[in-house]
Amino acid sequence: MASIIDELISALEGELVLYEKLIPLAEAKAVAIIENDLEQLSVVTQSEQNLLDEMAVIENRRERSVDNIKDVLNRKNEDINLDRIISFLEKQPSEQGKLKAVQKELKAVTDRLKQINLQNKSLIEESLEMIEFSMNLMQSTRMAPESNNYNRSASFSDASLSHTGMFDAKQ
């Protein structure tokens, strides 16, 4: 069982390293979004994707370790999380301590990454709203409605909107 736990700890430590590498990339993504630097955003996104590809390999290792732990504990049909595995290791305080430490570090790093990603999501939504507003504004100025104004002699007179402002004063 100790070797399986060591393999799980190793996989979790590998995930931790990759999550720690994702934090500066997520922060760089925020800067690229704020500065509207699409080239830098593309570079950062590609780097993130490369790390996520590495993460998938380590994630498979972690899942195999958990499946092996389930087999050893004869809990094949149960969902087992890290807290339950830690509780099963009461008689192995060394492995239990290592697993708790990695879990604590992983939680801190993933919470930080989650916070940055929420900030980036908000920045992207604000950028999209601004783009939509700008597009609507440009479209509305190009497609100014013609008005059918007639003078006293019932002939058409063109009352151009060029004398009015961009926004309706009634609003």
pLDDT at res. 127: 86
Is residue 73 domain-resident? Answer: yes
Per-residue pLDDT reduced to its tens digit, 47-102? 999 999 999 999 999 999 999 999 888 888 788 889 999 998 888 899 999 999 99
- Mean pLDDT for all residues in the chain: 86
pLDDT band at 9 (very low <50, low <70, confident <90, very high): very high
Question: How would you label 58-77 residue by residue, b for 16+ Cβ within 10 Å and e otherwise?
Answer: beebbeebbebbbeeeeeee
Residue 28 and residue 45: Cα distance in Å, rounded? Answer: 10
Beta strands in the chain (DSSP E): 149-150, 156-157
Coil/strand/helix, residue 91: coil
Is residue 155 domain-resident? Answer: no
Rounding to the nearest 10 degrees, give the CA dihedral for residues 121, 127, 130, 134. -140
- Domain span including residue 56: 2-143
Is residue 148 domain-resident? Answer: no
How large is the average pLDDT for residues 19-40? 94
Q: For the chain, how many structural domains are there in total?
A: 1
Is residue 60 domain-resident? Answer: yes
Residue 28 and residue 43: Cα distance in Å, rounded? Answer: 10
pLDDT at res. 146: 57
Is residue 171 domain-resident? Answer: no
**What CATH number did the domain enclosing 77 receive?**
1.20.58
Residue 104 and residue 82: Cα distance in Å, rounded? Answer: 11
Is residue 165 domain-resident? Answer: no
pLDDT at res. 171: 47
Q: Tell me the pTM.
A: 0.73
Is residue 169 domain-resident? Answer: no
Is residue 128 domain-resident? Answer: yes
Per-residue pLDDT reduced to its tens digit, 149-164? 656 665 555 544 444 4
Q: With 0-12 CB in 10 A as exposed, 13-18 as middle and 19+ as buried, what is 123?
A: middle
Residue 30 and residue 11: Cα distance in Å, rounded? Answer: 29
Asked if 99 contacts 85 with a C-beta cutoff of 8 angstroms, the reply is yes
Element (H, E) at 60: helix 38-73
